[in-house]
Amino acid sequence: MDGRARASAPRLGLLLGFLSLAAGACGDRGPGEREATPAPPAANADEAAIRYLESRVRQDTGNFVAYDKLAGYYLQRMRENGSLTYLDLAGRAAHASLAALPAEGNPGGLAMLAQVELAMHDFTGARNHGARLTELEPGTSYPYQILGDALLELGDYGRAAAVYRRMERLVERRGESRLNLETRLGRLAFLHGQTDAAERHLSAALASALDGDSTPRETIACCHWQLGELYFALGHYAAAETHYREALVTFPDYFRALGALARVRAAEGDVMGAIAGYERATRLVPDPTYVGALGDLYRIAGRESDARAQYDLVEHIRTLSALAGTVYDRQLASFYADHDIEAETAYAAAAQAYVVRRDIYGADTLAWTA
């Protein structure tokens, strides 16, 4: 596609988005993560717990249990506010836990590391560590959850489905909540085009989250958001908006729901409403998808200098850290292709990623950057 075509028709995936039931689905607490109270959001309590645990590990660097719990708090904070700083801290805590006690005696530390790897898009590492966890803890469900998530992101859908079936048997045998399982079955169904089944599974996940006595409010919001993403992908904008707004009632300023609402406004042709929504979302999280979409909307509204500032910010995000470049690799590659910026670099990055991560979204990104 030449530059004129790209400029006149920005890619739907950037401006309007797509169903992003991504790695690290809703309700991902592992064995080391905290049990949160459902209401109200316990931000102060969480901060106090983090400070306490940080103090504990400073005093006793061999306290692997404290490191595991600390990694869990950091991961939850990252899910709540999208900050890569917390992801980096979670990784440091997980590595410190395993340095204090290796995985053979500390499967919780390995589970924390694997969840960090999923969030960092190191899916090969997460797959390998998930497989090791199934050897260390074969009678529990969470190792299969981690392994299945990694396989799904790597595009190994058949093996992921088999692993999730094993997870389902263990969940049923142990009488566990089906929340984590249903979100994954929903995503797998969507990837196979089984949208009715996806809706059933994601609705069941939401029901399970609402029934839980200690479900974090962010998890409930995430379940609403995932259903909204499904409905948006199907073109049911009113239903999508209902779930996005429910997410915000449950967890105010939930950045995923804010960005998704802005995308609904854009899809309905409400440029000013979309701009306001993306401005609010980007103040919370400078996700390249939101920033790039805001720039495109500014351009549509004739605000060329504001658009240029957003495009410059997208490029700046890549340079902030190696972690940002990894987590946002596909968003950045698509943005460059959409705007005829560093086309060769975008294609090379997409091609390199596809060597390892051969899923449908990787194929789409590779084709778009070609």
Asked whether residue 148 is assigned to any structural domain, the reply reads no
Structure tokens at 164: 């999730």
Asked whether residue 204 is assigned to any structural domain, the reply reads yes
What's the Cα-to-Cα distance from 127 to each of 50, 235, 339, 342, rounded to whole Å? 28, 34, 34, 32
Residue 341 confidence (pLDDT): 86
Query: Which residue, chain included where needed, has tokens 């960005």?
Result: 259
In the chain, how many H helices and how many E strands? Answer: 21, 0
Task: Give residue-wise pLDDT tens across range 129-159.
Answer: 999 999 999 999 999 999 999 999 999 999 9
The amino acid at residue 25 is: A
Alpha carbons 77 and 105: distance in angstroms, whole number: 27
Give me Rg for the CA atoms of the chain.
20
Alpha carbons 95 and 98: distance in angstroms, whole number: 5
Pick the more confident residue, 252 or 12: 252
The count of domains in the chain is 1
Residue 363 confidence (pLDDT): 95
Mean pLDDT on 231-255: 98
Burial of 336 per CB tally in 10 Å (0-12, 13-18, 19+): buried
Asked whether residue 154 is assigned to any structural domain, the reply reads no
Mean of the per-residue pLDDT values of the chain: 89
**What is the domain range of residue 197?**
180-252
Residue 217 has pLDDT above 50, yes or no: yes
For position 198, which CATH number holds? Answer: 1.25.40.10
Asked whether residue 231 is assigned to any structural domain, the reply reads yes
Which of these ranges, 23-32, 37-46, 231-240, 334-343, has the smallest mean pLDDT? Answer: 37-46
User: Residue 229 — left, alpha, or beta (φ > 0 → left; ψ -120 to 50 → alpha)?
Assistant: alpha
| DSSP symbol at 287 | -
Asked whether residue 140 is assigned to any structural domain, the reply reads no
Mean pLDDT on 38-55: 77
| Packing angle, helices 217-233 and 64-81, rounded to 10 | 40
Asked whether residue 340 is assigned to any structural domain, the reply reads no
Question: Nearest-5° angle of CA 340, CA 344, CA 346?
Answer: 75
Asked whether residue 199 is assigned to any structural domain, the reply reads yes
Asked whether residue 237 is assigned to any structural domain, the reply reads yes
